[in-house]
Amino acid sequence: MASHRKSRTPGTRVAGIRTPALATAALTSVALLSQTADAAPGDDRPSLEEVEKKVGDLYRQAESATEKYNAAKEKTTKQRKRVDTLLDDVAQRTQKLNEARAELGSYAAAQYRTDAGMPDTATFLLAETPQDVFDQRQVLDRMTGRQKAAVDDYVTQQTETMKKRQEATESLRTLTETQGDLKTAKATVQKKLADARELLSKLTAEEKARLAAIEKRKQEEAARKAAELARQQAAQEQAREEAAQQSGGTSESSGSGSTGSADTPPADSSYAAKAEKALAFARAQIGKPYVWGATGPGSYDCSGLTQAAWKAAGVSLPRTTYDQVNAGTTVPVSQAQPGDLVFFYDDVTHVGIYIGNGMMIHAPKPGTYVREESIYYDGDSAIHSIVRPA
């Protein structure tokens, strides 16, 4: 493999490259892979397995940043709507305040024409705050009923307008903060993906072929584990049916992938019907590209796909994996049923929708498409939990 690389100019120091802290490990691997055939014996050269792991880590970090982006985007959208609502309210209340002020002005003008002294009503027009108005109690005592009603309306409109203006100011400040979070998350996703592309671009054709072979072996192992889970679930289902027959009862099996237990009863027919709709939608998306932050209909990220699938079944799921994992009942992997959500990694940054027999439909990562795959695609330890959402 080294023979395919150009010789490095003597004196070039990899250690001299300035790299962001979050991508140091990945770019160091790139530099090591670009070393020449005349490198000194004993140099630490990362194996393709190590490179594959680093790329995988970068994609997972990008996916984690994507979920933060999704959360920030959702929060920004809600906050923007709140700001718009408050600004509309402020505009309406300002109009009412102006109308109340105009009415007070009419009283002040009339009083001025009949009284050479300072008009009582005009005193309130000079007040800057509602408290200023209340401080003029001696003036208020000399007013007629209609004047007092006008002052009361003016004070109410002034108080409410000031309150709404303050709320709008605070909401605008919050909106600015969420927009900053959104921008930061977006930049992080783009940086992680760029680092992964840079790392892969340094591989030769032969190395890429070997990397593909590593991935194929992983998929074969994942398929084997999925088959084992399918056999286990089938055996449990058969045992449950036999037990039901022996007790004179009937089995309420709802299909591939589950048996009940004292703690986790089997999903009912209502769930099976909803799950069937969710899975029909998910299957129809197979082949569409993964795009981070996307919710369809032309492309999806992982949580965007599961949210859209269950929406098609009439169930509203939160936007992010962090929230979706809490939107149902957790069940053991051995009792997973079609329609259940399969969450991955300790930080819960990936999700797929279970279809039975140890398989799921998911939007894997950038550069891939929605597809069916073993839930063990990244190993047993990658599975975080199984959640039944409805």
Residues carrying an active site annotation:
302, 350, 362
At 58, the amino acid letter reads: L
Compute the CA torsion angle 316, 318, 321, 322 (nearest 10 deg): -140
Contacts of residue 242, Cβ cutoff 8 Å, sequence gap at least 6: none
* 191 CB neighbour count, 10 Å cutoff: 17
Q: Assess contact for 342 and 386: CB atoms under 8 A.
A: yes
Q: How far apart are CA 103 and CA 98, in angstroms?
A: 9
* Structure tokens that stand for 75 in this block: 């929060």
Nearest to 370 by CA among 297, 272, 276, 316: 297
Beta strands across the sheet bearing 359-362? 329-331, 383-388, 341-344, 350-356, 359-362, 371-374
For residue 268, CA distances in Å to 7, 200, 373 come to 66, 47, 26
Contact 378, 388 (CB under 8 A): no
Give every CB contact of residue 198 below 8 A, 6+ residues apart in sequence.
26, 27, 30
- List the Cα angle 106/107/111 in 5-degree steps: 120
